[in-house]
Structure 1
């Protein structure tokens, strides 16, 4: 199974997004920690100052003959967030009756206050963060002030969400910047791809402008030189094939005329001579077909001459030329009965495609059983079915190469073909920017399927 790999644009966009996310997340984390530390440290100092002031008030009250600690605590201004506790002679005192006073102050903080006289600790009381400050008033008395951090905790939560949203927005902006950058950077490569696609379709005049981008001047120049060399080589090969074919035609015509004389007088010849004359006539016909195909191949690299063509009628004429039943032609598209379907194609090439596929079906496939001309949106589809043994899956790619015939050709009929018919089909289809495939026909046989994009 082929492993999926993301394209260049996807990788660049992902890289920009990941970089922006990493940078923004790092900055957000640092900002959050600095802000959090600053706010909590300021709150702790404020709590220490309040606890120091309250400890002086309580210390003054303890000097009375019979001190009322609870009454002293009620005189303190603790607001809505602070809570003051006093531990005196092993008992806990608060502003109001509070059975949970002993559990609100950690044992570790109590030991620290007892040893050093003062301490501070961050705790969670009933799930609420708080700061506890302890001050030793006398060897038997200690004051503990609890400052609840509800508002500060909510502020930090809000700040955290804001920073997360900012980091996400920065990552999205980074992805957008990466998409724009790749679009700008890949624009010259798209020009190269368009030019290469045009050359593949037969337009050898496609070139790149070296002045478009100085950084890609070398690429553009090398590409144009490559296309020039390719064009010259293709032109030499085309001229060679055309010249050879033309030079062969004259002696072929002479040989064909002589062979026709022999063919007409076969009944006057002895058996061995008549058999030899028949072989000469058959081979000359095959040679003539080969020369015609070579001439067609020499013109195959030229651009397609597109014009509106009634492909349904073209298929019927091709069937009639091969003396086949016109009933095998089936034209199917919405709202039509097979008349007047016009595609923008090269009539000569498409007619040659139909003729070659029909000849292939007659020669190797036991005869054609259906020729379908259909429309799928703006695209056109032509299918030719035969009732032969089909095409071996291992041969379905190479069967469209030049001078290649399937190993099953002998079983499917005879092997008198030139090996160029299906190659011409592939070449003509490629000139339209389409593709041809061979599939299994339901019920047995082969199905040659041609797909032509944008013909409607």
Structure 2
């Protein structure tokens, strides 16, 4: 099952870069605003204070100046501070004051509007806002491009890993670059190479063992025919027959793994193939709801159905029902159903050969061969547990219509 990788690495990178850009722009704007405001105020206070000193000298020399004596609109805090011998500069309500005490105890004061500095600071804020927005947009676009590129590379690595997990061992990422995503992609490719080599070695060993076993098993079959009739001979004969069937199953799996098996198709009636498949199995009932003729490999279809019915008899409970509904064939039993851990594996990578579940029950090669044969025929084979109880395997053959 595919999982979205992109929830989303590209979007997350873009959002992170945009958030960082907004934070930096805002912090820079606030810092520049405060530094500029403090510098403007210090400069204005210094200039007005110098003018006040010049006015005090003019007052002492009885010369005219712009300063006023005891102005009625002088703020009370300024007047109190001056009368205590402090020369004061004071900004309040958009007016900058400078005041000092002259020799006769009078208060000499100057004032001017602080509006030019306020307008200048407002213009600076607008400029900072425009520059900040532009920088944020540009950095966010760059982050988006970087995030999209990273997301695309991560999705490519994820898709390749999913293809490898689904059996496509030739899939490769072929990474570029030297960052962490490139290392991850290279690790995926290395994993695929190692997995492919290991599976190929397993296939060769499986095929070689099964091939080497055919000769002694054939000799055992011949030897059984020379034994005198009796219960012991029958028991040995059944065991040898089961062993021969197992060897043939292993060879069949090896051929499918090596992808050398070829389907030989012809037109056959679905119900006829079903009846031939279960002819030797007791306690198997066949029902035909709707019949049709399909183009397929009848030997492989019958092998699939035989394995499914045998598996139902072996691991389920009688009776086993095989229902034909057009191109769909359902094999049902009345047992406890498939183990949950087996269904979890079936729905992801298919049945595993010689697999033993947590409950101690095995699946052998039957389901493995059935799934492999269905894949070769272009059919679909699904497994589930019925709500009313029992296991159900559904084979859907390609519909010629």
Aligned residue for 2:257?
301
Aligned residue for 1:413?
none
Which of 79, 98, 101 is 1:134 aligned to? 98
1:2-32 Cα offsets, whole Å, 9 max, x none, are: xxx9969966875676467546743653355
| TM-score, normalization by structure 1 | 0.56
Aligned residue for 1:283?
239
The 3-state SS of whatever aligns with 1:299 is helix
Displacement of 1:358: 2.5
Aligned residue for 1:116?
86
Query: CA contact under 8 A between 2:10 and 2:146: conserved in structure 1?
Result: yes
Aligned residue for 1:419?
364
Query: CA contact under 8 A between 2:13 and 2:144: conserved in structure 1?
Result: no
Measure, in 2, the Cα distance between the counterparts of 1:315 and 1:12: 54
Aligned residue for 2:114?
147
Query: CA contact under 8 A between 1:388 and 1:445: conserved in structure 2?
Result: yes
Displacement of 1:423: 3.4
Aligned residue for 2:146?
178
Displacement of 1:38: 3.0
The 3-state SS of whatever aligns with 1:300 is helix
Query: CA contact under 8 A between 2:263 and 2:377: conserved in structure 1?
Result: no
Structure 1: stretches of 5+ with no match in the other structure = 65-75, 77-83, 94-101, 263-272, 331-337, 376-380, 411-416
Query: CA contact under 8 A between 1:329 and 1:370: conserved in structure 2?
Result: no
Aligned residue for 1:37?
35
Query: CA contact under 8 A between 1:311 and 1:373: conserved in structure 2?
Result: no
Query: CA contact under 8 A between 1:398 and 1:404: conserved in structure 2?
Result: no
Residues 32-181 of structure 1: pairs in structure 2 closer than 5 A? 32-34=30-32, 37-38=35-36, 41-42=39-40, 45=43, 88=70, 92-93=72-73, 105=75, 107=77, 109-114=78-83, 115-121=85-91, 130=94, 132-136=96-100, 139-141=105-107, 142-145=109-112, 147-148=114-115, 151=119, 154-155=122-123, 158-159=126-127, 161-162=129-130, 164-166=132-134, 168-181=136-149
1:384-429 Cα offsets, whole Å, 9 max, x none, are: 442212234356568944334669899xxxxxx9832123345557
Query: CA contact under 8 A between 2:319 and 2:334: conserved in structure 1?
Result: yes
Aligned-pair RMSD on alpha carbons? 6.0
Query: CA contact under 8 A between 1:51 and 1:144: conserved in structure 2?
Result: no
Measure, in 1, the Cα distance between the counterparts of 2:342 and 2:200: 32
Check 1:60–1:329 CA distance in 2 against 1; reply closer, same or farther (3 A cut): farther
Structure 2: stretches of 5+ with no match in the other structure = none
Query: CA contact under 8 A between 1:353 and 1:425: conserved in structure 2?
Result: yes
